[in-house]
């Protein structure tokens, strides 16, 4: 079953496989997926790129006030305050100032929490977004494909986003974490050639670590399939051979 879209700015804390108790911050319109990719495995179903033109984002004041209220109401501070939600968080036109203000709020109300983003990486080509990303405690950036052809089939980008520029942008970030979702099936990204190309790109990016996983929720494409733990471990071993730390979730 597909996941229901968020109808609020703050959601959770949720028990995240990768982030512990994570308080989600949705910078995107409610009940509407707003994303520059249309991944075959998206837990929210297919994207409508027309949403990119019409999106009405919550204001900075609304976001800070919702977060302040949530942090004050929580009996225990979260492990993470995570920008995620109904699509790609860095699309918010004021993402840079939101990052700074949220960190200040964290410092005063939940100093043990880390501030992170789960991003699809498409906007990493922009200087202003890279500068904002560098201010976060953790940048968890998607890269599932090893070449432009696979990116087109698997992640189905909005036409203006180019695979090689995204890889260059990721390589220029410091201390980045890469997240990658692998699947089998006709349109999956688990073929020997795809894995070979993907490992080459990871070596070029030099991430601090890599998170590898497969389907855990509903997804819209009938042409992909879950992978086994053994297959995911095979990918991890390919990275280990290149001295890159990776975890299978
Ligand atoms: S980047 Fe995330 S939200 Fe966007 S289509 Fe892919 S999985 Fe869905």
pLDDT tens profile 95-111: 999 999 999 999 999 99
State the chain's maximal CA–CA distance in angstroms.
Answer: 50
Separation of CA 43 from chain center = 12
* 75 Cα to the center of ligand 1, angstroms: 32
CA angle 96, 18, 185 (to 5 degrees): 105
Nearest residue (CA) to ligand 1, atom 3 = 87
- DSSP string for 159-203: TT--HHHHHHHHHHSSS-EEEEE--BSTT-S-SHHHHHHHHHHHH
* 73 Cα to the center of ligand 1, angstroms: 30
CA angle 9, 15, 16 (to 5 degrees): 85
Domains of the chain by residue range: 10-248
Q: Give the model confidence (pLDDT) of 213-241 as tens digits.
A: 999 999 999 999 999 999 999 999 999 99
Nearest residue (CA) to ligand 1, atom 6 = 39
Nearest residue (CA) to ligand 1, atom 8 = 42
Between helix 192-205 and helix 229-240 the angle, nearest 10°, is 40
* 39 Cα to the center of ligand 1, angstroms: 6
- Average pLDDT value for residue range 1-28: 95
Nearest C-alpha neighbor of 32 from the set 65, 68, 6: 6
* 58 Cα to the center of ligand 1, angstroms: 20
The answer to whether the CB of 115 falls within 8 A of the CB of 78 is no
The answer to whether the CB of 22 falls within 8 A of the CB of 79 is yes
Q: Cα dist. 32→47, 144, 182 in Å?
A: 9, 24, 25
Q: How far apart are CA 210 and CA 73, in angstroms?
A: 33
36 is written with which tokens? 């520059």
Residues with CB under 6 A from ligand 1: 35, 37-39, 42, 44, 47, 87-88, 120
Q: Give the model confidence (pLDDT) of 150-181 as tens digits.
A: 999 999 999 989 999 999 999 999 999 999 99
User: Taken in order 67, 68, 72, 78, is the CA torsion positive or negative?
Assistant: positive
Q: Give the model confidence (pLDDT) of 51-66 as tens digits.
A: 999 999 999 999 999 9
CATH topology classification for 10-248 = TIM Barrel (3.20.20)
């Amino acid at each position: 079953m597909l996941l229901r879209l968020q109808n609020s700015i703050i959601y959770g804390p949720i028990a995240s496989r990768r982030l512990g108790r994570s308080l989600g911050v949705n910078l995107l319109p409610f009940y509407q997926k707003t994303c520059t990719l249309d991944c075959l495995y998206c837990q929210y179903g297919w994207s409508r790129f027309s949403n990119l033109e019409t999106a009405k984002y919550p204001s900075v004041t609304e976001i800070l006030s919702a977060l302040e209220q949530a942090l004050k109401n929580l009996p225990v501070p979260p492990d993470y305050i995570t920008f995620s939600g109904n699509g790609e968080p860095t699309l918010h036109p004021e993402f840079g100032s939101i990052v700074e203000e949220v960190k200040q709020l964290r410092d005063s109300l939940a100093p043990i929490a880390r501030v992170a983003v789960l991003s699809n990486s498409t906007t990493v080509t922009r200087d202003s977004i890279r500068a904002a990303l560098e201010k976060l405690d953790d940048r968890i950036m998607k890269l599932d494909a090893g070449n432009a052809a696979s990116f087109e089939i698997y992640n189905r980008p909005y036409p203006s986003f180019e695979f090689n520029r995204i890889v260059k942008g990721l390589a220029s970030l410091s201390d980045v974490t890469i997240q990658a979702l692998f699947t089998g099936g006709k349109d999956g990204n688990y073929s020997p050639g795809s894995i070979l190309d993907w490992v080459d790109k990871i070596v070029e990016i030099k991430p601090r670590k890599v998170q590898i996983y497969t389907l855990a929720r509903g997804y819209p494409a009938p042409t992909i399939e879950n992978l086994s733990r053994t297959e995911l471990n095979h990918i991890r071993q390919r990275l280990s051979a290149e001295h890159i730390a990776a975890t299978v979730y």
